[in-house]
Amino acid sequence: MDSPTASQCSFPDLRDVFPGCSSYEDLYNLSIKETDLFWGTLARMSLRWNRDFEHVSNCNMESGLFRWFLGGKLNVSVNCVDRHKEKDPDRVALIWEKDEPGQEERITYGQLYTMMNQVANVLKTHGVKKGDRVAIYMPACPLAVASMLACARIGAVHSVVFAGFSAEALASRINDAEATVVITADQGCQSHFVAKRTGSLVVSSTLDVDLDEAMAKESGECEPAVMDSEDLLFMLYTSGSTGNPKGVVHSQAGYLLYASLTQRLVFDCKEGDIFGCVADIGWITGHSYVVYGPLANGVTTVLFESTPTYPDPGRYWETVQRLKINQFYAAPTAIRLLLKHGDEHVEKYDLGSLRTLGSVGEPINVEAWQWYNKVVGKEKCVVVDTWWQTETGGICISPRPSAPDAEIHPGMPMRPMYGIWPVIVGEKGEELKGNDVTGALCLKKPWPGMARTIYGAHSRFLETYYQPFRGFYFTGDGAIRHKDGYYQITGRMDDVINVTGHRLGTAEVENALGQHPSVAESAVVGYPCNDKGEGIYAYVTLKDGFLAGVKMETELRGIVRQKIAAYAVPDVIQICAGLPKTRSGKIMRRILRKVAADQTENLGDISTLADPAVVKDLIANHQTIK
Ligand code: ATP
Ligand code: MG
């Protein structure tokens, strides 16, 4: 690990903090064996407290009750803004990369401080109090960040709703959160603050408040509310890949500590770095790695408002060159999309500023990982496949932190973060010990960034995460612990395919298909089949310039036979124009399962589906199973 000095960075090198530890292994063992010592020391050292905490943790995996830093008082916005503004008000906090390239705006910590306080005062003037829920429905922009921080300043609970959602999806999230206020932007991007009195979405002009005008009337100073470590900070909906989205709740201190520690250690981020996470602020990745993590660490964070292909597929790399981004963090769906468009869009740009390349959201197939590493990273960057969830608050499994020269294998997150204890659990709920085992991925030890509940649905919280396997947090994902002890995600447990008694993870088959030169993306699901329990149905999209045909299908089957085994060979291959994805870019296999089984009358909750036309096309071209 590189060692920034304490004065350069709000987090000193952990080896200096825990002098008996000289390696990742030492620190990891300490974090597992002496959990309270580990997290308590880091919390005191890296956060500013109004009152010190009395106990580090009081957690119970059996009952699903989690409390961290009990008795401590702090304010998250002070930790993210005031601390850095006091030291250096002119340091750039945000770079707003707008839709049009070359129009970026820079906001310093001093400016962000004033903006946040003005929004906080507007909220207070309109009667918003500690504990009230505020919905934020805005694209990535400085005012959206200021609004999140303004809530934290006064102790209101924000619920950011992805700005691409329909009014209906917004309305259901407002109702679910019982939000009293919505902060939104109109189409011309002139900001509005819409105060609401009823539970339904009625945007009446008498309730509209022009946010810019209201802010101009308010002071740029606002006394921060003194919050308890366990008061709610925000709620946020999951992506809805497997069903009805869950309104996950995070609290103050534990979340902030975990988001900021992982942001610094996984990405090797130091003060002065420009951190480019291109996720929307409407997802947990945007919360932890666009807003809270980087700001708590005092670095410059990029707010990316555009899309990977506007005005052309070189957009990310032109942005990296122009803004001199040091760490770049994106989703596999975007990487696969750009790979499909060819290397020339990357090669035009100087990407010499990059040191770390991150991936999150889905398993990254080996082909996409290699492309990211070679074509984007020129084999000089550290590539980190990071596994985590809305519920985990921050990255839980990732190749770093570890020694700078520790090996990295393509397409797997490999090693647990400090304090994270992954276990593989078998069908009967038993922990599978040793290496070379496959099963349900669970976490055995509580960590500060973990979700505290599902808003208004604590019993759903317990049923989903703590009751399936007693004593463990169940992630819903499957994983392999390889011979060398490294973790690889095999896909969702709901999606596991059972072929003649063999349990197959979707990612395994998709990885194999992805190695064929023509394949851009693939998604594999099971369908009911009398002979073997389940049959395998593969949906495949092709790279530009390739055409479907019998020869290609034979080759695709051959590659799966060679890489995995004969039983894993797809029975059906449907070449398609696109795959159904959530708004955050994840493949919705549950819809593909319905199409494969020819049961398309009821597709379930599709409120987070990005493009319904894709589903129509899949149904129209559905291959009848012989
Ligand atoms: P829902 O819970 O509503 O079905 P979701 O699980 O897609 O939606 P998120 O919290 O946004 O909602 O995503 C977390 C999930 O994303 C993980 O459980 C895992 O399935 C997948 N995931 C995230 N990162 C990785 C990764 N690096 N490798 C494999 N899978 C990943
Ligand atoms: Mg999930």
Give pLDDT, residue 2. 37
**Residue 218 to residue 381: CA distance in whole angstroms:** 46
Give the single-character DSSP code of 372: I
Q: Which atom of ligand 1 is nearest to the CA of 391?
A: 10
Question: How big is the CA angle at 371 (ends 390 and 319), to the nearest 5 degrees?
Answer: 70
Q: Which of 369, 477, 495, 581 to mutate to test the pocket of ligand 1 (most atoms within 8 A of CB)?
A: 477
DSSP tally for the chain: helices H, then strands E: 21, 28
- Residues lining ion ligand 2 (Cβ < 5 A) are 238
Residue 586 to residue 263: CA distance in whole angstroms: 22
Q: Which atom of ligand 1 is nearest to the CA of 359?
A: 27
The neighbour count for residue 221, using CB atoms within 10 Å, is 11
361-394 burial, b at 16+ Cβ within 10 Å, e below that, comes to: bbbbbbbbbbbbbebbbeeebbbbbbbbbbbbbb
* Averaged pLDDT for residues 522-544: 92
Atom of ligand 1 nearest to the CA of 507: 29
- pLDDT tens for 348-357 read 999 999 999 9
* Per-residue model confidence (pLDDT) at position 11: 58
Ligand 1 closest atom vs CA 364: 28
Asked if residues 537 and 596 have their Cβ atoms less than 8 Å apart, the reply is yes
Which of 71-85, 203-217, 442-456 shows the lowest per-residue confidence on average (mean pLDDT)?
Answer: 203-217
pLDDT tier, 189 (very low <50, low <70, confident <90, very high otherwise): low
Q: Which has more pLDDT, 124 or 200? A: 124
**Interface predicted TM-score (ipTM) over 0.95:** yes
Task: Encode pLDDT of 97-139 as tens digits.
Answer: 999 999 999 999 999 999 999 999 999 998 999 999 999 999 8
Which protein residues touch ligand 1 with a CB less than 6 Å away? Answer: 238-243, 245-246, 284, 360-363, 385-390, 413, 475-477, 489, 492, 584, 586
Question: How far is ligand 2, taken at its centre, from the CA of residue 249, in Å?
Answer: 14
Angle at 525 between CA 519 and CA 526, to 5 degrees: 140
Query: Per-residue DSSP letters for 258-307?
Result: HHHHHHHHHHT--TT-EEEE-S-TTSHHHIIIIIIHHHHTT-EEEEE-S-
